[in-house]
Structures are given as C-alpha cells and as structure tokens.
Amino acid sequence: MTDTPLSSPERNRIGTIDGLRGFALLGILIVNITTFRSGNPAFTGVNWWVDRLILALAQGKFILIYSFLFGLGFALQLEHTDSRPYQARYFRRILGLLLFGVAHYVLLWEGDILMSYVLPGLLLMLFSRRHPKTTLGWGIGLYAGYLGLILLIVTMQALRGPAASPAVAPAVEPGSVPPALLLTSSYAQLVVMRWHILPDFLSEHSLGTVFALGIFLLGFYAGRQRILSDWQEHLAFLRRVAAWGLVIGLVSAPAYVYTSLSSNTLVLPLRLLALTAAFICPIALCLAYIAGMTLAWPGLTRHLPWLVTGMQAAGRMSLSNYLTQSLILTSLFYGYGLGWFDRVGPLSGLGLAIVIYAGQLACSAAWFRYFRFGPLEWLWRSLTYWKVQPIMKEV
C-alpha cells in the first residue's frame, strides 16, 4: 500500500501524497462496510440516498487512488536508486506484499486487494526505463483494453441468448464465503475455508492484472513528471483535471450506479453504452479527487492542521491501517464477533466509518511521536532491505 520513499524516514516524505493515502483510507472504509450485507436491500428514505451516493462517489474510486499512488511511488523510488540493487529490493518488496495479502485474505477477510497488486507490480518493472509518454500511452491503452474486453464478453453472452446462460446466477462469487456461514462459523472454520478457496480467489481476479497495471502506469507517468511532488508548477493542469474529472465523473455516475445494481434489462447497445460510462466514472472521479485534494492541501494545512497531521500519519502507515480496518469490521460483523452482518444500514455504516476513521487518525498521529514506521510498514521494510530496520525514533 505504501512505497519507498513513501515509507522511509520523515525527511524523504512528501506530505501531500501521504495525505492522499490517508484520505483514500476513509473512502475505502466507507465502501468496505457496505460489503457486510447481503445483496442490495430495498432501502428507503435517507438510507436509499446514502446508499446511492456511496455507489456513485466512493465505490471503485478510492481504491484507484491507491493503485495510482502505487505507480507514482514506484517512479519516486527510481529517482534515488541504482537499477540492479533496486530490482532485488523491489522483488522482495513485492514478495512481502504477496505474503501480507495471503495473510489478510486467509486470517481476516476475503475482500483483499493486496494480492491483486503483485503481478502488475512485477510487470511495472518492464516500464522502469521507458519514456514517460510511452508509459502514459500503455496506461491509457490497458485501461481502454480492459473495457473493450468486458464489452466483448457482454456482447458474446448476449448473442448466445438466455438459453446459454444459467437459470440462476451463482449466489456467491468464486473465492468468497457464503454470507450464511459468516454468521454461523467459528474463526478457525472461516480460516480453513478461505485457505481452501484461495486458488479460486486468485483465478477470479487474474484478469484484473490488465486493469491494475493500466492504473499503475498512469501513476508512474505522474510520478516521472513530478506532477504531485512539484504540484505548484502544475497548478493549471491540476485545475483542469479536477474540473473535467468531476464533470465527467458526475455525468457518468448514474450509469455506474445503475450497472452496479442491474443493467440486464437494457437492450444490448444501451447496455454497452451504460457499461462504458460506468467504466469511465471511477477513473474520472479518482483523478478529480487526487487533483482536488492536492490543490486544497495548502488551505487544509492552514485551517485544519490537526486533520492534515492525522491524514498524513494515517497515510504513512496505510498498510497497517488497511489491515486494522479489516480486523475491526470482521470483529463487528462476523458471527465470531458481534454478529452485525446485515444489521447496519447505509447511514449507520457511514457514521460507523467516520468514527473508526477518526480513531485511526488519532492513533496514527500518536504512533509517530515515538516510531519511525507503522508496525507492518516496519516489517515490510525490513523484508525489503533484508535487514531489521530501526523502528524507534532517536531521542
């Protein structure tokens, strides 16, 4: 989730990028809470509006920020390293990410995203010395190519006709645990279950490599051009991205909401059009959020310094905070915990997310009074450098 030098000592850090990671943590938490309910219940009133707003403005958008910043962090790393020693360190770093992802999936929650970063993270090395415009072209091409592949699959399925489709859609995606078992199984039973379905999870998400690599390359381009590192020199560009991204994202958001709930009732041409708009929405809003937060950061620093301090601290230990969120949510919603699964609506879930996030901001800021790295960031860095790193701050 974080990248060298973005997990290195304070003197090497870029506060705006740390803050963006901290900001994305809130959006990811809000979305993840919605996964602890079965299907799409028929909400009414305020809950209906909150549910649709989360779909339109948060789902699929904040996770793209992390992917974008992963590629950006890779570019920043290359500025300060020699290629051959760095390649060995980077390979160990990706291996560490894989180990964290497997542990997260098996021991905590099947909603892991870390493992989906492993293969595209390795492929990113192929672009380490390519021209920035080449990486930008590949990034846009892979993102568009993934959309084209989805449209092709949908078209082929529609042309086969309803007889070729299963009469009843599978209730559980491959690599997921049936909701009923989440409430009735013990912790040990769920761990064993997830271990056995781990291969299904990996195969189900393998196609996402193309998508993730495309986003990584967009971030890599931004890092090579130092658009966020030297944001003062790119103000006009950032303003255009924020404005156009917001307009395009909001215009296409209704299509995203509709296709997230159901688009099978549309005739094929309209369905393909809706899917295209829905695919554009997340990247447009992701870029708008990144540009907008970068532009707003000086004002936030002046007027809300406590919030900025907390967001930067949370971003510096985003891996630890991400896994902590999973620990908290599964303890609240699963049967071996409080068993809140399917009992928390959108509005209550939003309030719960804000409370948890506020606690993480406070704890993260307190942590860095005494330590140089987050706990899992320290472990990850030690593995990357194959040497135990000092974690305590010098007095």
Residue 278 identity: A
With both helix axes pointing from N to C terminus, report the angle between 268-303 and 235-261 in degrees, rounded to the nearest 10: 130
Residue 295 identity: L
**Global model pTM greater than 0.85:** yes
CA-only gyration radius of the chain, Å? 21
- Tell me: the pLDDT tens digits for 196-249? 999 998 888 787 888 899 999 999 999 999 999 899 999 999 999 999 999 999
Buried/exposed code over 260-298 (b: 16+ C-beta within 10 A; e: otherwise): eeebeeeeeeebbebbbbbbbbbbbbbbbbbbbbbbebe
Kindly state whether residue 326 falls inside one of the protein's structural domains: yes
Residue located via tokens 């590629």: 71
Kindly state whether residue 281 falls inside one of the protein's structural domains: yes
When pLDDT is cut at 50, 70 and 90, the band that residue 2 belongs to is very low
Cβ 119 vs Cβ 209: under 8 Å? yes
Residue 7 has pLDDT above 80, yes or no: no
Kindly state whether residue 308 falls inside one of the protein's structural domains: yes
Cβ 75 vs Cβ 223: under 8 Å? yes
Question: Which residue would you say has higher pLDDT here, 131 or 80?
Answer: 131
Name which of 117-131, 170-184, 319-333, 351-365 the model is least confident about.
Answer: 170-184
Cβ 372 vs Cβ 9: under 8 Å? yes
When pLDDT is cut at 50, 70 and 90, the band that residue 165 belongs to is very low
Cβ 204 vs Cβ 173: under 8 Å? yes
How many other CB atoms sit within 10 Å of the CB of residue 52? Answer: 17
When pLDDT is cut at 50, 70 and 90, the band that residue 166 belongs to is very low
How many other CB atoms sit within 10 Å of the CB of residue 36? Answer: 21
In this structure, which long-range contacts are made by residues 37-40, counting pairs with CB atoms below 8 Å and at least 24 apart in sequence? Answer: 37/341, 37/342, 37/344, 38/179, 38/341, 38/342, 40/261
Half-sphere exposure of 71 (CA within 13 A, CB side): 29
Cβ 32 vs Cβ 111: under 8 Å? yes
Instruction: Indicate the DSSP class of residue 166.
Output: -
Domain that residue 144 falls in: 10-385
Residue 133 has pLDDT above 70, yes or no: yes
| Domain total of the chain | 1
| Cα 69 to Cα 219: distance, rounded to the nearest angstrom | 6
SS3 372: coil
Largest CA distance in the chain: 71
- Tell me: the pLDDT tens digits for 23-72? 999 999 999 999 998 766 778 899 999 999 999 999 999 999 999 999 99
Mean pLDDT of 89-101: 94
Kindly state whether residue 3 falls inside one of the protein's structural domains: no
- The conformational region for residue 70 under phi > 0 = left, psi -120 to 50 = alpha, else beta, is alpha
Cβ 177 vs Cβ 198: under 8 Å? no
- Helices within the chain (DSSP H only): 15-34, 45-57, 62-78, 83-107, 118-123, 132-160, 179-184, 187-204, 208-224, 235-261, 268-303, 305-316, 318-333, 346-367, 375-385
Kindly state whether residue 4 falls inside one of the protein's structural domains: no
Kindly state whether residue 111 falls inside one of the protein's structural domains: yes
pLDDT > 90 fraction of the chain, expressed in percent and rounded: 74
Instruction: Indicate the DSSP class of residue 390.
Output: P
| Cα 278 to Cα 263: distance, rounded to the nearest angstrom | 11
Name which of 18-22, 125-129, 236-240, 247-251 the model is least confident about.
Answer: 125-129
Length of the chain: 395
How much is the pLDDT for 172?
Answer: 62
Nearest to 182 by CA among 43, 369, 343: 343
In order, the DSSP letters of 4-61 are TTTTS-GGG--HHHHHHHHHHHHHHHHHHHHTSSSS-----HHHHHHHHHHHHHTTTT
Mean pLDDT of 325-342: 96
β-strand partners of 392: 371
Kindly state whether residue 139 falls inside one of the protein's structural domains: yes
Q: How far apart are the first and last CA of the chain?
A: 29
Kindly state whether residue 2 falls inside one of the protein's structural domains: no
